[in-house]
Amino acid sequence: MASSSPTSVSLKLLIDSKSNRLVFAEAGKDFVDFISSIMSLPVGTVVRLLSKQGTAGCIRNIYGSIENLGSSYMLSEANKDILLNGSSFKLCCL
């Protein structure tokens, strides 16, 4: 049976308030795995379609960040493709 105690996630953000941009983010593996699993849902396909119309908002920014993510942050290029194309294969992230 699952634990009923609340779970917390630590996320540290450095934000440039003048340009309203995220400069640096630090998170644990659990948070990265969570975001990766969300992006591996068919939502990735929806984001790509909405981005063409300019209606995806902040999700488009996340998608764009993954597109521009360097290869040193993923175990393989296939994992990046899985995130961007909404496939349901198992992810392996660093």
CA distance linking residue 72 with residue 50, whole number of Å: 28
User: How far apart, in Å, do the first and last CA atoms of the chain sit?
Assistant: 29
Q: Is residue 40 part of a domain?
A: yes
Residue 2 has a pLDDT of 55
Number of domains composing the chain: 1
In sequence order, what DSSP letters do the residues of 59-70 get, joined into one string? Answer: HHHHHHHHHT--
pTM of the full structure: 0.46
Is position 58 within any domain? yes
In a domain, 23, yes or no: no
Calpha distance 27→72 (Å, rounded): 17
Q: Is residue 4 part of a domain?
A: no
pLDDT tens track for 40-73: 666 666 676 676 666 666 777 777 788 888 878 7
Look up the domain containing 39 and give its range: 29-94
